[in-house]
Structure 1
Amino acid sequence: MSMDIKQSIQNGKTVLGIELGSTRIKAVLIGEDNTPIASGSHDWENSYVNNIWTYSVEEIWKGIQDSYQKMASHVNSQYGISLKKIGAVGFSGMMHGYMAFDKNEELLVPFRTWRNNITEQAATELTKLFQYNIPQRWSIAHLYQAILNKEEHVSDISFLTTLAGYVHWKLTGQKVLGVGEASGVFPIDLDTKKFNQKMVGQFNELTESRNLGWQLESILPEVLVAGDNAGTLTEEGAKLLDVTGELEAGIPLCPPEGDAGTGMVATNSVAKRTGNVSAGTSAFAMVVLEKDLSKVHTEIDLVTTPTGNLVAMAHSNNCTSDLNAWIGLFDQFTKASGMNVDMDTLYGTLFNQALQGDPDGGGLLSYGYLSGEHMTHFEEGRPLFVRTSESNFNLANFMRTHLMTAFGAMKIGMDILIKEEGVQLDEILGHGGVFKTKGVGQKVLAGALNVPVSVMETAGEGGAWGMALLGSYMINKADNETLDDYLNEKVFAGQSVETVTPEAEDVAGFEQFIERYKKGLAIERAAVENL
């Protein structure tokens, strides 16, 4: 087997995906069968400088070079060859944010990441103007807020892009974005798969009196879709990526994408009527829609798949942190009692207890709001556990309640889609820590959404692998082969998938729980205001 892989590497039949996440930059090299053969990663943290969450340009390149170098060393130690040729490369990054450059290609202000909630006025005004939800973290909200703030740099902007777009531009000279990443910059026209021209015009009219010296279309990148060629690695780009100088220039790059899009690819949920839920510290549900929503919902973000299909995103800031803290308490108890129980066993035991609980959690209520929760309109949070004297207070209900509440805020967003907008879903793919204990998180989520929930064995591979798959699709696709077909037939065909279908009593129980959850928000409000 390793001989075949060695030949693939020598013949440049591999594909490299690099994703710049908020805490880690990861490089994954895949072989001809689309499975990972080498990887490398670099940990980093954002800095809070002058009231802005940012990463410096030096840190960006240091992190990319380090993760690339570790991956290349992995290739060398495993297969005894140095990496010179690669079939294709692709970059993805945290979506949204603001990187503005002048005509000399200099960064005008430090990179403003998606974490900055400093654009409320801009986001509200643009949502009203476009009749389309513009969240605070979107690039256009950052740009318009800078205009409203009369920031000096605005008139010097020659090019505006995202983190992934910036890296791609420096390596290829091409000012482009994949449509999924672009959909977090400015709304996309679903027919043309480009920025919405009507809204671009509205923005130009809105800012006309400010004499900025540019029109919006002149500073935005070009939008490409999955499968398009997005340029090649230049001589300078090759030296920037591989500081040892081994890597050859001329490698094709696929369109740079956002971490939402790579997550969809890595979970094989880019087809209409599918979706995925990523559940860890926060919970993201992404649903690929068949048509536009009937009206603007500020709780729902709209982005697209890497092929330009509309995706509704219900995002909650809080998911498993409070649940993990309670399990930490049980861990302390077992240690204090002289028992040596490892964390996997502890999680497995406690999660399985939840399956013995009453369908509605026995009248218990909790909120795992360690931070604010925009879905339910809280700027700050207070983790709470509440019961009445009539509640059925036992371990099974305690665990079940904490698992249900982990999906509570996200369910409120999903109910808007499923109940108000009539969105149809065939299946949801679950990935993230909450699904590690077999069948438990799946069963709770299936009850919450009344949709079958599947978990795949590769769910842990993550966004860098998803990015590599987009590169593989670009160079290996057959004529007219869609990304959906490519993933189904060439990547996920042999995957073992475990599916849990919703049970009527779980669905009814979760409905009872969510009514209690909504009524109890007044208790959470009082805690935030008084504690």
Structure 2
Amino acid sequence: MGNEAICSEKSRLIKQGRTSLGIEFGSTRIKAVLVDFSGEVLGVGVYDWENSLKDGIWTYPLEEIHAGLKKCYTSLRKNVEEKYGVTLKKIGSMGISAMMHGLMAFDKEGMLLTPFKTWRNSDTEDAADELTRIFNFNIPLRWTIAHIYQAVLDKKDYVKELEFAVTLAGYIHFKLTGERVIGVGDAAGIFPIENGNYNEKMIKDFEKLVLDKGYHVKLMELFPKVLSAGDNAGSLTSEGAAFLDESGNLEAGVPLCPPEGDAGTGMVATNSVAVGTGNVSAGTSIFAMLVLEKGLSKLYREIDMVTTPDGYPVAMAHANNCTSDLNAWVNIFKEFAELFGIKADMGELYGKLYNASLSGDKDCGGLLSYGYYSGEGIVHLNEGRPLFARMPESKFNLANFMRSHLYASLGAVKIGLDILLKDEKVKVTKIMGHGGLFKTPLVAQSYLAAAVNAPVTVMDTAGEGGPWGMAVLASYLINKDNMSLSEYLEKIIFKDAKGTTIEPDVRDAAGLEAYMERYKAGLEVEKRAVEVL
């Protein structure tokens, strides 16, 4: 079929609404991806944004959340019009995903009681520690329940007005459908999950705990209802359609799948929802997830227990910091190039710098980096300070410098992965990589293979990442045909998928292990920097 015929066929699918839309609120970009029912990308829309530190809280203003969603959809609509000459009116199904965890707290009038608290906030240590002890279950600092309980401990007035507590994905879904529901994967970042719903015993333990402190909190009334992949989560209302599409062309009635967190969409985007599979999502933050056959032998504060979008247990090592500092250094090199009148293409610049790292020493020649823009739970730091250090005798050159920062982007999450792979002896059949870190072919992928000492595959769809995974979940809603989610991915979405697999290099693995010993020892420097800077 020629290009003209292919374009005509895609135009017909779009006109008929035989499409699925995924919109994901990432840390630095809101992205919309429209796909056909085989998962092929038809159109993309983007809106770039950045979090801000307001009164000690990492947040995004509610106004920008709303504006960003609309501008992202407008970008998609224009992209579709430019490519196919079609006005986007009908959509077969859609779904919303977002960076997991944090808290959006509303009163009975629907007013936001406190600024949206993102996953990046780590001021909940007291709450997380106490809940972990009471539940005998790891409660990470960024989880919704940790934020709520910290507000109780801090005697925040808004707790008594709290009527709806939800994640960002659940909030946007509510705005579009009027339904207070959440996907089980995202729900696992709100409160511990058991048998596809919030853990009943822990719910009762929590309510008694806060009642003793003078607060009457009914969590099952506060939290959104838990749904699994494939469940109907409502439909786009007329108000929701008008809110999303400022052009007024989008028709209401679109069925929505359960809203999910970016962990769940990452699993889908990498075909990693079956037991024995794993994936690493690497962007502003980084998390590694391994789908388990059985639970871990004991509680680890460094490991979160979450679920796949269809409810299977997942061990997740999550690090708040990955590419922010790395990106900042690439921008420095961009400024340097511009001083010489060179207009640097960012894709080419990343490619050149990343590939230069391959010629560096396997252990980075004694250089050491910490890209901690914010606190890092895995290493028990509530605040972060980006640092670069070297000894006088270190081999300070560009290759080692870039390699050190690429290693550092994996540093914190590798500490968590080592617990799973070395201490717990978790077996994985494949590790998949996706996210911005892997856009430059082979480089970060080879370092991840060294980190997990296992083959790592990056699919051709890796660049679209979570938003594409969300679109696939939306497609599953209306096309599942009695298949499980893993069957649907294997038989429909990934049946002809292409990707690149890299085997671990023993010398890279040994070099990274040596770097990590220096990295762990140097954490004392990072901790001291937090104290004095």
TM-score after normalising by structure 1: 0.89
Structure 1 position 68 matched with structure 2 position 73: yes
Correspondent of 1:495 among 455, 473, 497: 497
Equivalent residue in structure 1 for 2:277, among 274, 279, 295 = 274
Equivalent residues in 2 for 1:79-158 (5 A)? Answer: 79-158=84-163
Structure 2 equivalent of residue 513 of structure 1: 515
Partner Cα separation in structure 1 for residue 270 and residue 377 of structure 2: 26
Q: How do residues 359-374 of structure 1 correspond to structure 2 at under 5 angstroms?
A: 359-362=362-365, 364-371=366-373, 372-374=375-377
Q: Is the 8 A contact 2:103 2:117 kept in 1?
A: yes
Q: Deviations over 1:143-198 (max 9, x none)?
A: 11222222233223332222211222232222110001111100111xx2111111
The structural deviation recorded for 1:220 is 1.5
Answer yes or no: is 1:421 the counterpart of 2:424.
yes
Asked if the contact 2:434–2:465 (Cα under 8 Å) also holds between the matched residues in 1, the reply is no
2:19 is the counterpart of 1:14? yes
Determine whether 1:57 maps to 2:62: yes
CA change 1:317–1:209 in 2 (3 A) is closer
Q: Distance in 1 between matches of 2:18 and 2:451?
A: 43
Find the counterpart in structure 1 of residue 385 from structure 2: 381
Change (3 A) 1:248 1:208: same
Q: CA deviation at 1:395?
A: 6.1
Q: Secondary structure at the match of 2:515?
A: helix
User: Relative to 1, partners in 2 of residues 1:15 and 1:504: Cα closer, same or farther, differing over 3 Å?
Assistant: same
State the distance in 1 between where 2:100 and 2:218 align.
Answer: 23
Q: What is the aligned counterpart of 2:296 among 274, 279, 293? A: 293
Secondary structure of 1:25 counterpart: strand
List aligned pairs for 1:323-338, cutoff 5 A.
none
Give ranges in structure 2 of 5+ residues lacking alignment: 1-5
2:200 paired with 1:204: no
How far 1:334 moved relative to its partner? Answer: 7.5
Matches of residues 384-395 of structure 1 in structure 2 within 5 Å?
A: 384-387=388-391, 389=393
What CA distance in whole angstroms lies between the structure 2 residues aligned with 1:106 and 1:437? 43
Q: SS at the partner of 2:294?
A: coil
SS state of the match for residue 212, structure 2?
helix
How far the C-alpha of 1:95 sits from its partner, in A, is 1.7
- CA deviation map 1:381-434 (0-9, x unaligned): 352332464x66766555544443432222111111111111112222223444
Helix, strand or coil for the counterpart of 1:312? Answer: strand
The match for 2:44 among 12, 21, 39 is: 39
* Distance in 1 separating the partners of 2:90 and 2:396: 62
Give, in whole Å, the separation in 1 of the partners of 2:343 and 2:65. 42
Structure-1 separation of matches of 2:422 and 2:468: 34
Q: Distance in 1 between matches of 2:345 and 2:115?
A: 44
User: 1:319·1:368 contact (CA, 8 Å) conserved in 2?
Assistant: no
1:169 and 1:334 map into 2 onto residues whose CA distance is 46
What SS does the aligned partner of 1:407 have? helix
Question: 2:3: which partner in 1?
Answer: none
What TM-score results when the alignment is normalised by the length of structure 2? 0.89
Classify 1:24/1:359 alpha carbon distance in 2 versus 1 (closer, same or farther; 3 Å): closer
Aligned-residue RMSD, C-alpha: 2.9
Q: 1:323 to 1:158 in 2, by over 3 A?
A: closer
* CA displacement, residues 303-359 of structure 1 (integer Å, 9 cap, x when unaligned): 222111222222334444555566667777888899998766665555445445554
Matches within 5 A, 1:357-506: 357-362=360-365, 364-371=366-373, 372-378=375-381, 379-387=383-391, 389=393, 399-479=402-482, 481-506=483-508
**2:179 paired residue number:** 174
Does the 8 Å CA contact 1:384/1:524 hold for their aligned counterparts?
A: no
- The aligned amino acid for 2:24 is E
What is the identity, as a one-letter code, of the residue corresponding to 2:303? I
Number of matched residues? 526
- Kept in 2, the 8 Å contact 1:367–1:524? The answer is no
The 1:211/1:315 distance shift into structure 2, 3 A limit, reads closer
- Report how far residue 452 of structure 1 moved: 0.7
* Unaligned stretches of 5+ residues in structure 1: none
SS in 2 for 1:286: strand
Q: Answer whether contact 2:459 2:500 (CA < 8 A) is retained.
A: yes
Counterpart check, 1:188 vs 2:193? yes
SS of aligned partner of 2:280: strand
Alignment of 1:214-253 (within 5 A): 214-253=217-256
Q: Displacement of 1:43 after TM fit? A: 2.9
Amino acid at match of 1:171: L
Shift of 1:284: 2.4
- Separation in structure 1 between the aligned mates of residue 217 and residue 526 of structure 2, nearest angstrom: 47
Cα distance change, pair 140–370 in 1 and its aligned pair in 2 (3 A): closer
